[in-house]
Amino acid sequence: MTTTESSPASEKPRKEVLRPLDDEARRLARGLIRSARFGALAALEPDTGHPMASRVALAPDMDGTPYILISTLSGHTAALSADARCSLLLGEPGKGDPLAHPRITLMCHAEKVERGTPDHDRMRRRYLARHPKAELYVDFPDFAFFRLKLERASLNGGFGKAFVLEQGDLVLEEALCAAFSERETGVVDHMNSDHSDAVSLYAERLAKAGKGAWKLVSVDPEGIDLKAADDMARIWFDQPLASPDQLRSELVRLVGIAREKAETAQAS
């Protein structure tokens, strides 16, 4: 061995970049997907094979799978039709260094959703709850929903907080989600029409969001999503619900906590 060669014993051990996955990281990843209204979609251009990135509007399905509404005339629709592989970058930069804020890159396969199916009807309703202006074109024949089926994900929770997640870390169980889907419309409509004060308390006291015309837009086994103008807020249940029959008692419990917080704030 020459003096210019280094022995294995003298080499410094390589620092592990990825952190062990835990429940906190899973919740952060799921929250980034649930709260996202826009993202950067990268697909492969058919003629060149070059990655082509585009901003897209999206919504999460009941199980946490993101999906998009795009024109069949667009370049990324042609790309996804030729090669379903794609990736989706989610996460909004806040104040200061944009790279210090959490973001997630999802590796997906795009799958077109056919009109006239229960999946399409559910996804249409959920999408319009987040993007009401899309009602102007959602039913145009040249627009279609594409489900971005998750394979794995790379989560960056900030400097030194990198994780790899698999599909099972991000997507909820199908049968349970089907049961919640049957109840979702009724719960959302009831809360917004009869309990708008409770919805505001959820946002302002539990999600610590600012005042606004908050609406409940979706429910799922792990929590609820709220929207006011362009702002989204996510509230997690303490534990995932095993049945939609538990929704009422959980929403009552949450509003009780929110009212206590409001009363404490007024008294101080």
29 and 141 fall within a common domain: yes
Q: Provide mean pLDDT across the span 81-97.
A: 91
Q: Does 119 reside within a domain? A: yes
4-8, 122-126, 136-140, 200-204 — which is least confidently predicted? 4-8
pLDDT at 15: 58
Domain range enclosing 227:
173-261
Is the domain of 254 the same as that of 206?
yes
Closest to 89 (Cα-Cα) out of 53, 65, 63: 53
User: 198 and 107, same structural domain?
Assistant: no
Q: Does residue 36 sit within a domain?
A: yes
Mark whether 128 and 220 lie in a shared domain: no
CATH code of 192's domain: 3.20.180.10
Whether 266 maps to a domain, the answer reads no
Contacts of 181 (CB under 8 A, 6+ apart): 62, 122
CA 118 to chain centre: 21
Q: Which tens digit of pLDDT belongs to each residue from 164-205? A: 999 999 999 999 999 999 999 999 999 999 999 999 999 999
What pLDDT shows up at residue 264? Answer: 87
Can you give the pLDDT at residue 12? 55
In a shared domain, residues 94 and 112:
yes
In a domain, 1, yes or no: no
Q: What is the pLDDT of residues 62-74, one digit of tens each?
A: 999 999 999 988 9
Q: Is residue 240 part of a domain?
A: yes
pLDDT attached to residue 94: 76
- Last residue of some domain: 145, 171, 197? 171
23-26: which pairs have CB atoms within 8 A and are 24 or more residues apart? 25/155, 25/157, 25/161, 25/163, 25/165, 26/165, 26/169, 26/170
Alpha helices in 14-53 (DSSP H): 23-35
Q: Are residues 161 and 204 in the same domain?
A: no
Residue where a domain terminates, one of 120, 137, 171: 171
* Residue at 39 is within a domain: yes
Cα–Cα–Cα angle for 76, 80, 83, nearest 5°? 135
Q: Is residue 204 in a domain?
A: yes
Task: Say yes or no to pLDDT of 112 above 90.
Answer: yes
Mean pLDDT of 218-234: 96
Q: Are residues 161 and 208 in the same domain?
A: no
- Same domain? 44 vs 135: yes
Query: What's the rounded mean pLDDT across residues 245-256?
Result: 97
CATH number at residue 127: 2.30.110.10
DSSP, residue by residue, 49-79: --EEEEEEEEEE-TTS-EEEEEETTSHHHHH
Express each pLDDT in 12-42 by its tens digit. 555 567 888 999 999 999 999 999 999 999 9
Whether 42 and 167 map to the same domain: the answer is yes
CB 86 within 8 A of CB 148: yes
Residue 11 confidence (pLDDT): 57
In sequence order, what DSSP letters do the residues of 144-168 get, joined into one string? Answer: EEEEEEEEEEEEE-STT-EEEEEHH
- CA distances 170 to 31, 32, 164, Å, are 10, 11, 11
DSSP H/E element including 196: helix 196-201
Q: How many domains does the chain have?
A: 2
Distance, CA of 261 to CA of 82 (rounded, Å): 53
Q: Does 3 have pLDDT greater than 50?
A: no
- Same domain for 154 and 180, yes or no, is no
Q: Does 164 lie in the same domain as 216?
A: no
* Residue 10 counted as domain residue: no
How far is it, in rounded angstroms, from Cα 46 to Cα 82?
Answer: 6
pLDDT in the model for residue 147: 98
* 57 or 9, greater pLDDT: 57
Supply the pLDDT for residue 225: 97
Same domain, 152 and 180: no
- Above 70 in pLDDT, residue 7? no
* Model pLDDT, residue 101: 84
User: At 127, is the pLDDT very low, low, confident or very high (cuts 50, 70, 90)?
Assistant: very high
Average pLDDT, the chain: 92
User: Of 143, 171, 199, which residue constitutes the final position of a domain?
Assistant: 171
